[in-house]
Amino acid sequence: MAARKLVVGAVTALALTACSAEPTTPSSEPTQPSSPAASSPAGSGSATSFPAGERLAGTPFRSAELGSFDEPWAMTFLPDSHDALITERGGTLLLRTADGRTTEVDGVPDVAYGGQGGLGDVIVSPDFASDKLVYLSWAATGDGGAGAEVGRGALVIDGDGARLDGFGVIWRQRPKTSGTGHFGHRLAFSPDGDKLFVTSGERQKMQPAQDSGSDLGKIVRMNPDGSDAEHWSLGHRNPLGIAFDADGRLWSSEMGPQGGDELNLIEQGGNYGWPEASNGSHYGGGEIPDHRAGDGFVAPKVWWNPSVSPGSLMIYSGSRFPDWQGDAFIGALSGEALIRVDLAGATASKGDEWDFGGRVREVEQAPDGSIWVLIDGAGGELLRLSPA
């Protein structure tokens, strides 16, 4: 049975949607064959061809549209495969095979859909080849209101169907509270696979970000089964991107208030300042002290004024764009752009900002080194980017 969507805050949803305004490779690629037999089965690492797409004006990319989805939020590739799992915020998890067929995955939890809430991130276990575990995050209701949750279950592909077996919650954001914004709930495993990191937004309550007794406004580290959860860093507003670089450094992109969006290098025990310090202002114009040396807070490595609303983060390691290996890619919602940030060790600087004419919700690297993005909203496109 598919997940049941619990609609919350229908009026607030409209306001929050507005607020979230929060290469040397060949220039063309083989065209995808129309026969399903040409595609590899789920989990297969066989070579797959894709449409070459068209040159995307003002960018170094060719863009091929591979499908459309209803409010897509996140995606992840199955290991050694171009089969992918894609979440839709209303509560649907889809398995998209390399040939473009989609199957709804059963066994997904009920979600609290409304405002910025719903089904969120999806990643697979570092040991997926043996355990088949898929991790999801979502907004859920409970005592006190709503909050982010994380769970996992084993992906079973059976004929034309797919399901998550034994799905269970492994972590709940505490406390649950009123409102339908700033859940965070992006997921990443440490490079050794021993720890799971979860971003936890401050739920638009601000001060709990500085409260060690609250999960709100933190990045949380835990074992893969959710045990031994601990606050890794604090002072976050709405961190909607998290990724490790090749040297094991943890980076997070974060929505600021009015301006002050951030890319942060995450340190254990680091306090990133919210709401005591920000390079932005409160909505309505209220001032917030800027980050400054000696204020006791960790300043962002890069920030944006005006806002671009970073909604996702990927650190590139592929070969199709060799000049960008090790750089960060950020999907910009209100900025309607794909943003590249130069990373060099522990330093970062702004690179490129390419106009996509739509809210870029998710950015992922495919096994072949191409870059895939999901455009936010009803009918949001899945685009595959290759060198122009």
For residues 178 and 165, what is the distance between their CA atoms, to the nearest angstrom?
A: 31
Q: Give every CB contact of residue 138 below 8 A, 6+ residues apart in sequence.
A: 91, 109, 111, 112, 118, 119, 120, 148, 149, 151, 185
For residues 109 and 107, what is the distance between their CA atoms, to the nearest angstrom?
A: 7
Instruction: Identify the bridge partners of residue 155 per DSSP, sorted by sequence position.
Output: 164
Mode of pairing for the β-strands spanning 119-124 and 196-200 = unpaired
Contact 10, 114 (CB under 8 A): yes
Residues in the chain: 388
Tell me the HSE value of 66 on the side-chain side, using a 13 A CA sphere: 30
N-terminal to C-terminal alpha carbon distance within the chain:
43
What pLDDT, in 10s, does the model give residues 135-155? Answer: 999 999 999 999 999 999 999
Q: Which of 236, 230, 177 is closest to 206 using CA atoms?
A: 236
Q: Print the SS3 string covering the chain.
A: CCCCEEECCHHHHHHHHHHCCCCCCCCCCCCCCCCHHHCCCCCCCCCCCCCCCEECCCCCEEEEEEEEECCEEEEEECCCCCCEEEEECCCEEEEECCCCCEEEEECCCCEEEECCECEEEEEECCCHHHHCEEEEEEEEEECCEEEEEEEEEEEEEECCEEEEEEEEEEEECCCCECCCCCCEEEEEECCCCCCEEEEECCCCCCHHHHCCCCCCCEEEEECCCCCCCEEEEECCCEEEEEEECCCCCEEEEEECCECCEEEEEECCCCECCCCCCCCCECCCCCCCCCCCCCCCCCCCCEEECCCCCEEEEEECCCCCCHHHCCCEEEEECCCCEEEEEEEECCEEEEEEEEECCCCEEEEEECCCCCEEEEECCCCEEEEEEEEC
Break the chain into its structural domains and give their ranges: 5-16+69-310
Q: Is the Cα torsion angle 28, 29, 30, 33 positive or negative in sign?
A: negative
pLDDT at 386: 98
CB atoms within 10 A of CB 73: 26
pLDDT at 297: 98
Q: Give me the phi and psi of 17, to 5 degrees please.
A: -60, -40
For residues 113 and 91, what is the distance between their CA atoms, to the nearest angstrom?
A: 8
pLDDT at 30: 35
Q: Which residues of the chain have pLDDT under 70?
A: 1-47
pLDDT at 47: 63
Neighbour-count burial of 144, counting CB atoms closer than 10 A to its CB (0-12 exposed, 13-18 middle, 19+ buried): exposed
* CATH T-level fold of 5-16+69-310: Neuraminidase (2.120.10)
For residues 201 and 217, what is the distance between their CA atoms, to the nearest angstrom?
A: 5
For residues 134 and 148, what is the distance between their CA atoms, to the nearest angstrom?
A: 17
Find where tokens 């060099």 sit: 344
For residues 204 and 89, what is the distance between their CA atoms, to the nearest angstrom?
A: 19
* Residues marked as catalytic: 182
pLDDT at 48: 81
CB atoms within 10 A of CB 301: 17
For residues 301 and 181, what is the distance between their CA atoms, to the nearest angstrom?
A: 25
Residue 73 Cα to chain centre, angstroms: 7
